[in-house]
Amino acid sequence: MYNHRMDSGVVLRTENLSKIYNGGYVKVAALKNVNLTIRRGEFVTIIGPSGSGKSTLLNLLGALDRPTSGKVYIDGIDIYSYSDRELAIIRNRKIGFIFQAFNLINRSTVLKNIEMPAIIAGVPKDVRIAKAMQLLKMLGIEDKADFKPISLSGGQQQRVAIARALINDPAIILADEPTGNLDSKTGLEVIELLNTLCSKYNKTVIMVTHNLEHASMSTRSIYIRDGMIEKEVVYQ
């Protein structure tokens, strides 16, 4: 099992977080009064059946969608008290995203894909290129900088996506089924990489997964059913 370095700092907290979707005549409660506390350096997995509210929760934690009620605090900041413009800045600087489908731009090089969040953040070109190359080296794909993502294997593409998520040095990495399109060996490599981000670089990773083996490699799992936390499992 992995040794996670933890400090006492709470990086993310929710308070009675709820989301109701209005589907015409029917209102669907996707999340109901979810209370979570996640510390810096934790690797937390979110598990639950389809339609349980996992993706809704991840979207709210990532400032991609506003809650119907309740609060999300990142580094003590009540993020939904801010305007959409300010929220976009918080999202860009505090959160990195990794998706199942990689979401890379195939017409751009690997290097340009990784740079993108830093371009949006206004990081000078020489600084962001140096940082992107440093990340590529850390992830073992520095020779792929000038390639197009489509020419890379799935595992290499996901490493590019991880580098992109890290370019602005965010406190939190949100990963939505990041191994879903990978074979089992490559999937395990990605999980070990996410684990290293927590243990060595003190990042906080929150990952939605269906894979119980991968979940058991995290700090703890939060099980969600019908929009509510059903149970938590802590791994030693």
Q: What angle do CA 156, 160, 165 make, to 5 degrees?
A: 145
Domains within the chain, CATH numbers bracketed: 10-234 (3.40.50.300)
Alpha-carbon distance of 74 to 62, in angstroms, equals: 10
The confidence band for 5, taking pLDDT boundaries of 50, 70 and 90, is very low
Q: What angle do CA 62, 81, 97 make, to 5 degrees?
A: 10
The confidence band for 144, taking pLDDT boundaries of 50, 70 and 90, is very high
The pTM assigned to this predicted structure is 0.89
Q: Are strands 77-78 and 220-225 parallel, antiparallel or unpaired?
A: unpaired
Q: Does 101 or 3 have the greater pLDDT score? A: 101
Residue with tokens 């059913």: 225
202-234: pLDDT as tens digits: 999 999 998 999 999 999 999 999 999 999 999
Residue 184 identity (one-letter amino acid): S
Return the pLDDT at 6: 42
Alpha-carbon distance of 194 to 219, in angstroms, equals: 12
What Rg do the C-alpha atoms of the chain give, in angstroms? Answer: 17
CB 214: neighbour CB atoms within 10 A? Answer: 24
